[in-house]
Amino acid sequence: MRYLNIRKGQFTFANKTIGPVIESRIILAGKRFLQWTPNGLVGERICYDEGHLPNGWTLAYDLDLELDKVRYRLTIHDGAIQHGLKPYIAHLQFRHARLEDVVTRITVEDSPRGYPALKFELMSGVSSFS
């Protein structure tokens, strides 16, 4: 599994810059609780119920994407879930569509909070997932 990061407004893998936009189907691969300190990640637990978020922890979603026939994982948390992915999933449900059945454009956007925000948009066409 290759893990995507976001650096300077771009999706990256290792030292390769992919760009600010990805178009792919998204598979929700899992949910975790993460515990952060100023020194970085110090703990993680599998999330069985989002309603039982431990104090001082944050909810994270692991998303699987495919780019050029290579599978990547993108872990998102906090505002990317609350302000990006969850409203997008609600929009898909309104349209009677499922996240894994549609092609989604994910765009890195600047955020006034100082960390990158993600915008999720429904695309037409066929995904690279087989």
The domain segmentation of the chain, as residue ranges, is 2-123
pLDDT of residue 110 exceeding 50: yes
- For residue 78, the model assigns a pLDDT of 86
CA 5 to chain centre: 10
Characterize the bridge pairing of strands 2-3 and 70-77: parallel
Please give the model's pTM, rounded to 2 decimal places: 0.88
pLDDT band at residue 115 using 50, 70 and 90 as cut-offs: low
Rounded distance between C-alpha atoms, residue 111 and residue 118, angstroms: 9
13-40 residue pLDDT tens = 998 999 999 999 999 999 999 999 999 9
- For residue 130, the model assigns a pLDDT of 27
